[in-house]
Structure 1
Amino acid sequence: MPPETPSRDQDRFDDEDFPAYTMGRAAEMIGATPGFLRAVGEARLITPLRSEGGHRRYSRYQLRVAARARELVDQGTPIEAACRIVVLEDQLEDALRINEELRSRPAAGTEYL
C-alpha cells in the first residue's frame, strides 16, 4: 500500500503561518485581550489576515510574536517599545543564524585543498 499523501487540511494544520485562530481564541491562547491584539496590529508587529467576513485571523507564528510582546508589556514596557524590542530580537536571531551558516561554509578557494 503506498504511503498516504498529506491532505490539504493537514498541510494547513502544520503551517505556522496559516491564519487558523479568531481574535477571541487568539487572545485567550496568549492570555491577552482582543484590544491588546488590535494594539500590536496597529503597532505593525503583526498583521492578521482577514476572513471573507472581515474578521481578523491569526497564525501560530503571529501568536508567538504577540505573546512575547505581552510578556514585555506585563513587565512594564510600553506597548510600542515592546513591539520594537520583539522586532529587534527577531532581526538579531536571523542575523546570528545567517552568521553561523556563513561560518560553517568552507572559505572561498579552500574547497579543493
Structure 2
Amino acid sequence: MVLDRLDDPDHPVYSMGQAAELLGVTPAFLRNLDATGLLRPGRSDGGHRRYSRHQLDRVVALRRLSDQGHTLVSAAEILDLRADLDGERARHAATARERDEAVRDRDTALGQRDTARRERDRARDERDAVRGADPEQT
C-alpha cells in the first residue's frame, strides 16, 4: 500500500524546505551537504530534493558533530565508522547466537549419545546376566 512508505524511514518524503524547517538549518546547508556528497537525497519526478527520516537524523548528527568542532567531512566519516561498528556488532551478536545454538545442539547430541551408550551397556549387562544364569544360551 502507498501509505506503507510513510512508515519506511528510508523513503524520501520531506522536501528541502520541510527538512530545513524541521531541522532548523538553511536550505543552503542541505544543498551544500548534497554538493559535497555527504548526503544524497532522493529526487522527485521534477528533480527536487526529497529527504528521508534517516537522512534527517544524519543531518542532525552531522550538525551536532560540526558544532563540536569537526569539519563536515570528518563528521561524516565519524558517522560512517559508527555505522560500520554497529554493523559489525550486530554481525558478531548473530554469530555468537549461532555459536551458542550450535553448542546447545552439540550438547544435546552428546547427551543422546551418552544415553544410548548407557542403554546399550545395560542391555549387554542384562544379556550377559541371562547367559551367566543359563549356560546353554551361549
TM-score, normalised to structure 1, is 0.82
Q: Which runs of 4+ in 1 moved over 4 A?
A: none
- Could you tell me which of 47, 58, 63 is aligned with 1:54? 47
Provide the residue aligned with 1:8 in structure 2: 2
**Number of equivalenced pairs:** 106
- Could you tell me which of 83, 106, 116 is aligned with 1:90? 83
Which SS does the other structure have where 1:18 is aligned?
coil
What residue ranges of structure 2 are gaps of 5+ in the alignment? 108-138
Quote the Cα distance in structure 2 between the aligned partners of 1:14 and 1:34. Answer: 25
Larger CA Rg, structure 1 vs 2: 2
Structure with the higher fraction of residues in helix conformation: 2
Q: Deviations over 1:69-100 (max 9, x none)?
A: 11001112111111111111111111111111
Amino acid at match of 1:8: V
| Higher mean displacement: 58-67 or 34-43 | 34-43
Q: Map 1:1-113; keep pairs closer than 5 Å.
A: 7-9=1-3, 11-106=4-99, 110=103, 111-113=105-107
TM-score, normalised to structure 2, is 0.69
Query: Is the Cα contact below 8 Å between 2:38 and 2:76 reproduced in 1?
Result: yes
Work out which structure has the larger RCO, using CA pairs closer than 8 Å and 6 or more positions apart in sequence. 1
